[in-house]
Structure 1
Amino acid sequence: MDSIKVFPIIITENKDNSAYPYFVEIPDLDGMTEGQSIADAIKMAKDYIGTYSLENSLPKSNTNLPSVQGDAIATLVTVNVSEYKRKHDNKVVKKTITIPNYLNELGKENNINFSEVMTAALKKKLNV
């Protein structure tokens, strides 16, 4: 079952920063990031939360919007932590495959890295 977390973020426009004019605070994680647009800022917040989850335990979801000052925006973001971990898990696993002997022999003669070839083929097949 997927683990979906919800956290509030605060987006503040910083007109002095033309490259990344949207500053994002993630209060529940004491985190911050930036974005080139509001949509990008939300995407970056989700990525921050997902990345944080790879090495840290996330606190309980929080749907309480914080109060903000001026033109700041408070909103909620959701992150499917299970999906994020699946997509970013680069741990190597051993698989046993069956191929015709002639391909095995040709591959060995040509110093083919079978794991590399299989990884590339799977990425292409799965559009990753």
Structure 2
Amino acid sequence: MAEYVYPAVFHPNDDGSFTITYPDLPGCVSEGKSLGNAMYMAQSALTQWIEYLTDKKQDVPMASGLGSLETEPGEFVNLIRADIKDGRAVKRTVSIPKWMDDKVAETGLSLSRVLQDALKERLNVG
């Protein structure tokens, strides 16, 4: 898993919502109805943006330092973290008893899907 941390500029709107921009990621913009929602949306936008760049094999720009960013009155900067999981499929050899393999074939289950679901539950990840 790769970790990315970027400064986001939060601009408060008249209706209590916030617009979020990333100076280092032109075009990466989000909004939140409240400050808590804006923090969630900022992380979601950053995660999706970085996943898109890596999926398209584009360079991920370096993050600016907090001291180098200028804000307008009322705006503030906050660091936002995104953990990017590599979702590519990998082949693994697993062994199961023959009778179990026969049952899987009979029921039409996907052994890969069952294993993924079991591992997610066991690892306590979404």
Cα distance between partner residues in 1 of 2:119 and 2:45: 27
> Is the counterpart of residue 107 in structure 1 residue 104 in structure 2?
yes
TM-superposed CA distance for 1:39, in Å, is 3.4
Secondary structure of 2:19's counterpart equals: strand
Matching residue's letter, 2:62: K
In the alignment, structure 1 segments of 5+ residues that lack a partner are: none
Secondary structure of 2:124's counterpart equals: coil
Secondary structure of 1:29's counterpart equals: coil
Matching residue's letter, 1:67: E
TM-superposed CA distance for 1:60, in Å, is 1.9
Identity of aligned residues (%): 25
1:1-128 equivalent positions in 2, closer than 5 A: 4-16=3-15, 21-30=17-26, 31-54=28-51, 55=53, 56-63=58-65, 64-73=67-76, 75-79=77-81, 84-86=83-85, 89-128=86-125
Contact 1:9 1:27 in 2 (8 A): yes
Q: TM-score, normalised by structure 1?
A: 0.75
More deviation, 92-101/30-39: 30-39
In the alignment, structure 2 segments of 5+ residues that lack a partner are: none
